[in-house]
């Protein structure tokens, strides 16, 4: 009887914690959605939490934002920057990951190389933003989409290197050795044997890199002024002389969140397979 009561109490505590965490995670989405359909005057009026009961919803802010050329251009810039950075980092990271998984380096150990890649992610971007700005200014690369692609690819490169190297290590080397016996060289064994087996991992890592690049703010704020401005900078620009325009922030936040969220939901199967690949040894 006592054991059953303790089990019931434990279940209640777990459910209370889960509900609290769910509310904590979903509240920003609800706040953004709520403010995006409010009239500007309603955003500063207290007690307006339920549409149609405490305020009248409107899509005027959505229409005005979608009609702005700089908003549409910022969405396109974010798409080009994030997809470009993810593609570049996955291509380079896949080659580096395979090399770390299949070769043993002498002068610098594999562990030291992996640690160096990891340090690129641990290093705060604010430490290198000024040197990067001076370099890009000296070569005339500020306010360019390709410069942001390269910078973001540099800082998300550790994800494909670390994740994919472990996936390649979990693949039996005998499969590639069989390809060598059939006359394949190292590159053919990599592209025709090893690479197809980690496709779910490639998809999941690509989406992770794309999400981090999509959300990058500091480099975009520092290196852009007009032509290459992405959505995170547009969101920060919703502060006027009258204060923060919360209805504008709500619309722009939802615009920014929807593309990567939809992409992650569509590729959820590949993400789960990719992140669990190699987690259990057969």
Q: Smallest Cα–Cα separation from 160: which of 106, 131, 121? A: 121
What are 51's strand-pairing partners? 55
CA atoms of 180 and 82, how far apart (whole Å): 37
Quote the pTM value: 0.86
- The pLDDT, as a whole number, for residue 85 is 96
Q: Within a 10 A sphere around the Cβ of 8, how many other Cβ atoms?
A: 10
Per the CB < 8 A criterion, the answer to whether 39 and 55 are in contact is: yes
CA atoms of 195 and 79, how far apart (whole Å): 26
- The pLDDT, as a whole number, for residue 205 is 92
- The pLDDT, as a whole number, for residue 91 is 96
- The pLDDT, as a whole number, for residue 149 is 96
CA atoms of 67 and 86, how far apart (whole Å): 29
Q: What is the pLDDT along the chain (282 residues), one digit of tens a residue?
A: 667 777 888 889 999 999 999 999 899 889 999 999 998 888 888 888 888 888 899 999 999 999 999 999 999 999 999 999 999 999 999 999 999 999 988 888 888 888 888 888 888 888 889 999 999 999 999 999 999 999 999 999 999 999 899 889 988 888 888 989 888 899 999 999 999 989 888 988 999 999 999 999 999 999 998 899 999 999 988 776 567 888 899 999 999 988 888 888 887 777 776 666 544 443
Q: Smallest Cα–Cα separation from 70: which of 272, 279, 252? A: 252
- The pLDDT, as a whole number, for residue 241 is 59
Query: Domains of the chain (ranges plus CATH)?
Result: 68-276 (1.10.3720.10)
Q: Report CA 236 to chain centroid distance, whole Å.
A: 19
- The pLDDT, as a whole number, for residue 40 is 86
- The pLDDT, as a whole number, for residue 282 is 38
Reduced 3-state DSSP string for the chain: CHHHHHHHHHHHHHHHHHHHHHHHHHHHHHHHHHHHCCCHHHHCCCCCCCECCCECCCCHHHHHHHCCHHHHHHHHHHHHHHHHHHHHHHHHHHHHHHHHHHCCCCCCCHHHHHHHHHHHHHCCHHHHHHHHHHHHHHCCCCCCHHHHHHHHHHHHCHHHHHHHHHHHHHCCHHHHHHHHHCCCCHHHHHHHHHHHHCHHHHHHHHHHHHHHHHHCCHHHHHHCCCCCCCHHHHHHCCEECCEECHHHHHHHHHHHHHHHHHHHHHCHHHHHHHHHCCCCCC
Q: Smallest Cα–Cα separation from 143: which of 30, 213, 75, 226? A: 226
């Amino acid at each position: 009887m006592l054991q059953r009561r303790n089990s019931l109490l434990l279940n209640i505590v777990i459910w209370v914690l889960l509900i609290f965490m769910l509310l904590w995670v979903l509240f920003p989405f609800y706040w953004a959605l709520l403010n995006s359909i409010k009239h500007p005057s309603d955003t500063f009026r207290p007690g307006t939490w339920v549409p149609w009961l405490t305020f009248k919803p409107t899509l005027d802010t959505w229409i005005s934002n979608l009609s702005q050329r700089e908003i549409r251009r910022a969405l396109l810039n974010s798409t080009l920057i994030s997809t470009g950075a993810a593609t570049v980092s996955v291509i380079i990271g896949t080659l580096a990951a395979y090399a770390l998984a299949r070769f043993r380096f002498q002068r610098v150990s594999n562990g030291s190389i992996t640690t160096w890649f990891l340090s690129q992610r641990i290093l705060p971007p604010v430490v290198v933003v000024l040197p990067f700005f001076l370099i890009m200014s000296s070569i005339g690369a500020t306010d360019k989409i390709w410069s942001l692609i390269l910078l973001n690819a540099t800082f998300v490169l550790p994800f494909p290197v670390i994740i994919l190297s472990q996936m390649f290590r979990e693949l039996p080397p005998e499969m590639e050795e069989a390809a060598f016996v059939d006359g394949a060289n190292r590159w053919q064994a990599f592209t025709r044997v090893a690479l197809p087996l980690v496709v779910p991992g490639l998809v999941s890592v690509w989406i992770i890199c794309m999400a981090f690049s999509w959300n990058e703010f500091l480099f975009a704020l520092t290196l852009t002024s007009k032509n290459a401005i992405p959505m995170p900078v547009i969101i920060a620009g919703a502060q006027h002389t009258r204060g923060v325009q919360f209805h504008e922030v709500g619309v722009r936040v939802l615009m920014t969140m929807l593309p990567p969220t939809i992409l992650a939901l569509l590729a959820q199967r590949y993400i789960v397979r990719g992140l669990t690949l190699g987690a259990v040894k057969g």
